[in-house]
């Protein structure tokens, strides 16, 4: 079954409790975007906010690290309550395998992310080692951007390679500009986790927006 992961980046930060309620009731995962102002030209939030969300979360925390040196911080995010931690291949390069190991040692599921300009083939060596992959369908850094349709081909290629290598059930997450208009094409292409920020939290009725995505 497809999992829906609302991105709290698009929530009203003065009412994060209400956002958490919504995810606890309607969604499958809390998607939490951590940005450092260096890997991406934006700064979002860090440990204290993740700690606060972890206190109320009844669904797993899916922490998406858009930071340089992810190896330095994975342990703290897992200890803050993350069950899934993803980091960018572009920020890790030849350290990717070691960082996956690090996340596993901390007891969380490990995901590797590629931005739209990073070939999806870079993920292939980690099939069977990473627990999930995240294909960015906008450039990491900001919510509210337009979905890049070429992402569908990347998801398809990755799903085919997972099948070819004997790991057909590997989760593939898609993040950026996801809405009810592209959700079914993404799932047909092989996506199993849909991140949705604006299409959920900027909707008049966020709960209905989650149901529409589903
Ligand atoms: C972008 C973040 C996304 C973002 C998605 O860098 O990784 O998770 O919050 O927001 P929407 O759904 O508005 O594109
Ligand atoms: Zn994200």
Integer distance in angstroms from the first to the last C-alpha of the chain? Answer: 9
Q: Which ligand is nearest to the Cα of residue 178, counting in written order?
A: 1
Q: How much is the mean pLDDT over the chain?
A: 98
Distance from the alpha carbon of residue 7 to the mean position of ligand 2, in angstroms? 7
Please list the active-site residues.
33, 175
Please, what sign has the CA dihedral across residues 27, 169, 86, 99? positive
What totals of helices (H) and strands (E) does the chain contain, helices first?
Answer: 9, 8
Indicate which atom in ligand 1 lies nearest the CA of residue 176. 14
Distance from the alpha carbon of residue 153 to the mean position of ligand 2, in angstroms? 19
Distance from the alpha carbon of residue 28 to the mean position of ligand 2, in angstroms? 15
Tens-digit pLDDT profile for residues 45-104: 999 999 999 999 999 999 999 999 999 999 999 999 999 999 999 999 999 999 999 999
Tens-digit pLDDT profile for residues 55-71: 999 999 999 999 999 99
Kindly report the backbone phi and psi dihedral angles of residue 116, in degrees, each rounded to the nearest multiple of 5, phi listed first. Answer: -60, -30
User: Which residues form the pocket of ligand 1, taking CB atoms under 6 Å from any ligand atom?
Assistant: 7, 9-10, 31, 33, 64, 138, 140-145, 175-178, 195-199
Q: Which ligand is nearest to the Cα of residue 86, counting in written order?
A: 2
Tens-digit pLDDT profile for residues 136-191: 999 999 999 999 999 999 999 999 999 999 999 999 999 999 999 999 999 999 99
């Amino acid at each position: 079954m497809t999992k829906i992961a609302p991105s709290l980046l698009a929530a009203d930060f003065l009412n994060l409790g209400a956002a958490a309620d919504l995810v606890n009731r309607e969604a499958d995962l809390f998607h939490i975007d951590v940005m450092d102002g260096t890997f991406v030209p934006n700064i979002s939030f860090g440990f204290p906010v993740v700690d606060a969300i972890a206190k109320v979360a009844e669904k797993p925390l899916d922490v998406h690290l858009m930071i340089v040196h992810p190896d330095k911080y994975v342990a703290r995010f897992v200890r803050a309550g993350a069950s899934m931690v993803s980091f960018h291949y572009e920020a890790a390069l030849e350290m990717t395998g070691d960082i996956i190991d690090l996340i596993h040692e901390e007891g969380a599921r490990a995901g590797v992310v590629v931005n739209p300009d990073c070939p999806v083939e870079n993920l292939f060596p980690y099939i069977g080692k990473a627990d999930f992959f995240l294909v960015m369908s906008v450039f990491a850094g900001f919510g509210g951007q337009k979905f890049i349709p070429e992402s569908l081909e990347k998801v398809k290629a990755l799903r085919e390679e997972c099948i070819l290598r004997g790991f057909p059930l590997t989760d593939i997450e898609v993040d950026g500009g996801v809405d009810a208009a592209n959700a079914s094409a993404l799932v047909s292409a092989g996506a199993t986790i849909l991140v949705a920020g604006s299409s959920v939290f900027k909707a008049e009725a966020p709960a209905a927006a989650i149901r529409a995505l589903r």
